[in-house]
A = this chain, B = another copy of it.
Amino acid sequence: MTLNTRIEAAIDGALGRATAGSVPPKLAAALYHAVKPGGARIRPTISLSVALACGDDRPALADAAASAIELIHCASLVHDDMPCFDDAAIRRGKPSVHAKYGEALALLAGDSLIVLGFDVLGVAALENPARAGRLVGEMARFTGMPHGICAGQGWESEATIDLATYHRAKTGALFTAATRMGALAAGEDPEPWTELGARIGEAFQVADDLLDALQPEAVTGKPAGQDARLARPSAVTELGVAGAIKRLEDILSGAIASIPACPGEAMLAEMVRATAARLTPAHTATAAE
């Protein structure tokens, strides 16, 4: 099975469980709307790639970790799009969840997806309690307070913020969760995998800044120029477009250099290069010229 097949199967299994039996139909539909079809599934792809590189001795656990991270990511998108945050009516080229189902159901859909992420790990715990228990702790750590994506979003309500801390939490946390949880799912120590996740997260942030500045809505599926409009910090305003592209390349080289020695080292380096290619489409580079 390809990574993508495994990821979608695990996500579909979770969504199926969450919407089985007598359920409120609109909320059930909102969950599917938020998660399917997905975006690039970058975080679960990273997580599964790391698990594979570490031997993937418990595939069900690796699938659980990967899909749990993606469900948390989708939850964060639903809540981030709401009027009290980005007020984004479009996501992945279709109406955002609140635009289609209203704020109440968007709030509940996000809550339900957070819970579903942990539910997936709870199911996995029945077979592999020790590793799944640690996965619960990891995912909570990189999702909530004090240093997860909730904390990152929380910094946006502060007058003074440390930009590195902000980005590490808001964007980096789930990438770090991805590499660490992939390693843990395969029975490896997560520590040596922290840097790879953190660097991919940094790269993603710079790439996102570039996309926001350069790409039309038709390509990104969301309103263009939001960073400038909302006066948010961005690598493009800080370094210019060419500087930001150079920065992205440096970070990705560092990410590849940080990969711990393991059977799947070469495969992982290839995965990072493929991620980089996805992050920097040709027309971004062209626009920089």
Contact = CB atoms under 8 A, between A and B. Distances in A.
Contact of A108 (B26, B27, B146, B150): B150
A23 B145 contact: yes
A97 to B, nearest CB: 12
B116 A115 contact: no
A284 interface: no
Interface in A91-147: 101-105, 107-108, 110-112, 114-116, 118-119, 121-123, 125-126, 129-130, 132-134, 136-141, 143-147
B115 A143 contact: yes
A148 B105 contact: no
Interface stretch (A37-45, A78-86, A222-230, A267-275): A78-86
Interface in A238-276: none
A25 B158 contact: yes
Nearest to A83: B103
A162 interface: yes
A174 to B, nearest CB: 12
A200 interface: no
A162 B25 CA distance: 13
A165 interface: yes
Contact of A104 (B21, B121, B139, B156): B156
A32 to B, nearest CB: 11
A26 B160 CA distance: 12
A134 B126 CA distance: 7
A227 B83 CA distance: 27
Contacts of A121: 136
Contact of A157 (B24, B130, B141, B153): B24
- Which of A102, A114, A115, A158 has the largest number of chain B CB atoms within 10 A? A115
A162 to B, nearest CB: 7
Contact of A115 (B83, B126, B148, B161): B148
Contact of A107 (B19, B79, B104, B165): B79
